[in-house]
Amino acid sequence: MKEQNIYEVLIVDDHPLMRRGIRQLLEIDASFLVAGEASSGAEAISLANRLNPDLILLDLNMKGLSGLDTLQALRREGISARIIVLTVSDSKSDIFTLIDAGADGYLLKDSDPEVLLDDIRRGAKGGEAFSAQVAEYLHNRGAEKPDIDPFASLTERELDVLQEVARGLSNKQIAADLHISEETVKVHIRNLLRKLQVRSRVAATVLYFESRGI
């Protein structure tokens, strides 16, 4: 059994020096335990299934399976770990694509180490994990979309669940707050993601905040 408040991390990057640097950064914080390192997407998928980490830090541009391909494969495999993309790319296209594909965060490698560590820690705990520039792109994304209310098709209960998701609560916490089972929470989340045409809790939260001008 994993110790409480200890987050086991899988580092995925095809550059050994970068993996070492990320490991050294995480080792500053006692709440992180590096469970493994992968130099490719295929290795990441294998290790994620074997190690069951709490958090996966995933590079975007890798030889073989790209970060996007790896992310999609991990989600298809049912990997429940939070997955944060850690990359040099600040392209809007990359950011939107990865978030829509199910990434729980998107951090830039050129961030200040202390800021980066804070962002990773917040992401591991279930909060938002976006570099400042990425957060700005996501906040402004709504202005680039047609003025259509994506929430009109949600049921009252789905809206209740979405509000809890936006608060950063886990499925277990949502179930307790709404007096429903965790399985029912999962069903509601699956349905609301489909209706909102997004593929992750983070993307749904971004839409929710955008709709309220937050």
Q: How far apart are CA 177 and CA 186, in angstroms?
A: 14
Does position 214 have pLDDT exceeding 80, yes or no? Answer: no
* CB burial readout 113-138, b (16+ within 10 A) else e: eeebbebbbbbbebebbbbeebbebb
Average pLDDT over residues 135-162: 77
Per-residue pLDDT, 10: 98
> How many C-beta atoms surround the C-beta of residue 20 within 10 A?
13
- pLDDT score at 60: 94
23 confidence band (pLDDT: 50, 70, 90): very high
Residue 65: C-alpha distances to residues 68, 158, 201, 207 (Å): 8, 35, 24, 29
Judge contact between 55 and 107, C-beta under 8 A: no
- pLDDT at residue 187 above 80? yes
Distance CA 75, CA 67 (A): 12
pLDDT value of position 148? 59
Q: What does the pLDDT average to over 147-173?
A: 85
Which of 61-65, 76-80, 92-96, 106-110 has the lowest average pLDDT?
A: 76-80
Res 212 pLDDT > 80: no
Which position has the token pair 């809890």? 164
Q: What is the pLDDT of residue 1?
A: 37
Query: Distance (Å, rounded) from C-alpha 88 to C-alpha 138?
Result: 17
- Give the pLDDT mean for 127-155: 78
- Return the pLDDT at 58: 98
85 pLDDT more than 70:
yes
